[in-house]
Amino acid sequence: MKWAMPWNVAGQARFAFMGTRGPVAQEAGGPHKQGVPAPIFAGRRTPEDGSISSTDVTGRRFRRLRPLTVAAFLFAALAGAHRVAWAQPAPTAPSYAAMSSGLTPGEAAALGQALQIPGDGLMAGGAYQYIDPDRFMVVPTVPVAPTPGAETNEDTSDVTFEGLDLAGIRAMMPPGNLAALIAVNRALRAAGFQLTGGTAHVAKTYFDLFRLGGLRTMRRPIATNVSYSFVTPDRTPLEGPGAAAIFSFDPTGRASLVWLATRRLVRGPDVPILSHDEALAQCAIGALPGSAITADLVHYAPPLYIDVVSIMPHYRCGGTAQDAAGKTARLKTRYIPATLPGEPYGPPTVHVTAAMGGSTVNAQADVVGGTPPYTFLWSSSSTEIPDASFGPSITYDVVTRDPAAAASSETVHVSVIDGNGLTSGGSDSGSVAVPNPVIPLGPDPSNRTTGIEYQSWSVGLTGSEHTADAFFKGTKAAIPAVSNKFYAAEFMSWEIDFRSSLIAGGQDNQWADNVDMVYYSGHGYPGGFTFSSLRDNWWIDAYPSLRLGDGDMEWLALDTCLFLNNDDGKVVTRTKPMFRGLHIVLGFDTTAADSWDLGGIFTDDMFGTATNPYSNSYGAHLTVVQAWALASIITNGEGGRWAAMGPHGDNGVSDVNDRFWGFGAVGPDIRGNDIKGYWRLSGST
């Protein structure tokens, strides 16, 4: 089955109705993140995470805004009927001045002391991070006898046999929700630090065990997490990596993870913004054909390592796309500036001019407006961009796996971030006469290899190209060396690269299953993910197309929505055929954010490098699951859930605590009749 073209529209857009205190999102197409309460007031969440909501740390409860009165509604309707005759004022929204960022050294020290945390944990911009690699997200295991014939992997590297300690897992009892919430409030008071505008939500991290047929036989909480959603002083949602707080408590009752990244805001001037219809049109640029787009007015908080002066209104873009058979893909959450280009506080306008001769592309980005300084991030429809090319101009040679396609159309794209964290982009296309072909991949004797594929501006996203580049930089910085064997972007990222070579047309033996780890970023749905290439299918399902690990792959990292969602209890049914020696699939249970940083933080935490300002070096390095969980928590907003899943064999042998090759113990390939069931971890962001 192929995706229907055009795709059917599923769901409806949201609209913001104004009350006496601000906007309330009235929606027909579902919450902006699955299982997330409306950020303006505390609410209930999905039973999957078993969470509760609470008041903010100041003790104030958020009240639902009063609906419009009948008279006001009729007046609004009459005004709409006479819209042609009445001039409409330009919509506006407040801006906010960033008065301070993060924690002071004194606050960090006091918070650490209250939570029994060593060190001050301070990072760029005053963000605070603490993680204990020995306690965060660690699943108890015991040594078990080797499985005959599995003592080494396909690269002849020794493996470690550890079995799930079921008694130890059953005995894990993290703090109760109320006890965790009280511990956080006490620590914040001891530090003299207020999470102004924050609403606490308490949820569990769960370890699940399944039989071969998908019946769940165990579900145990292994951590209690207190996370915060935020609103501005005017009670509009405040979202993004610069408005985040989460505390995770393990069964000892102590904090095993703390992440804080907030700013103190005061109200600034109102600024003109895009209308809702204009925002929907902007959100729809590049989206999958026929997508149902949503656009919600929020304020976006960039990472604290971007030293912004003001926090500006943005629209949160989301939505769905549905095929003719009813399969629904969830579009990643992304943010676009709501302010107007050319106006004060507006985003920059970017114009790209490219000259293409032979196989060489020379491109120049001209920027008008916005707030200097500017950061330039380039990408290509066919070619990996050189590391050093991040100024206003770029020169590169087209090297592509599909010379005919590149010769007919090569696109160079740039994203520009201004001094207030506002983003814009531009591109130019043309033909190159003699593109250089990619050398076909061959067997590699090294067992430290990765591959990267992504869809970004070709499917209406902006973050995928940058998170993929960040993943690439992290692998290049690793010691011992990790080599990246392929980097397939946009239209050069193909479904057949993941399709099993045992299925007609599939070539995973040359691509995805020819490396140890693949990082993929794009859109997804339960048990599958999408592509922009017209070469083959627009989508791939775990069943029947993915059969990974019968070649080389140990780990698949999917920065997509919903791949490991289990709301219907069918996650095992959808994904178990893909485990043919694959150790772990990493993904999300909910909608994922269009993050620029996830890939870099993920690799830094696996390899102990520090290519991202929000990364840290832990010496012992994190397990693959720990690194994914931490990167997801830092880059995805409150209310999401990361997930990881893998098989287990006799005596509970599993790979749940794998580290990457060369950075710690790695378990065996478990395949065929050796698979006795599956485990799954999921935790809140």
* The three-state (H, E, C) secondary structure of 456-512, written as one string: CHHHCCCCHHHHHHHHHHHHHHCCCCCEEEEEEEHHHCCHHHCCCCCCCCCCCCCCH
In a domain, 588, yes or no: yes
The whole-number pLDDT of residue 324 equals: 62
Number of helices followed by number of strands (H, E) in the chain: 11, 37
The whole-number pLDDT of residue 88 equals: 63
Structural domain including 538 reads 447-684
First to last CA, the chain: 34
In a domain, 487, yes or no: yes
Q: Which residues contact 71 (CB under 8 A, 6 or more apart)?
A: none
Q: Which of 12-26, 39-53, 86-100, 381-395 has the lowest mean pLDDT?
A: 12-26
Q: What is the tally of structural domains in the chain?
A: 1
pLDDT in tens, 575-597: 999 999 999 999 999 999 999 99
Q: H or E element: which one contains 558?
A: strand 555-559
In a domain, 59, yes or no: no
pLDDT in tens, 388-431: 556 899 998 888 777 666 556 788 999 999 988 899 999 998 88
CA 684, chain centre distance (Å): 13
Res. 551: pLDDT tops 50: yes
In a domain, 119, yes or no: no
Contact 557, 519 (CB under 8 A): yes
Rounded-to-integer distance, Cα 543 and Cα 610, Å? 37
DSSP states along 590-649? S--B--SSHHHHHHHHHHT---STT----SS---HHHHHHHHHHHHS-TT-EEEEEEEE-
Token output for 493: 């990222």
When pLDDT is cut at 50, 70 and 90, the band that residue 447 belongs to is: confident
In a domain, 661, yes or no: yes
Token output for 232: 């501005």
Task: Read off the pLDDT of each residue in 454-482 and give the average, rounded to a whole number.
Answer: 91
Token output for 160: 């470690």
In a domain, 35, yes or no: no
In a domain, 213, yes or no: no
In a domain, 676, yes or no: yes
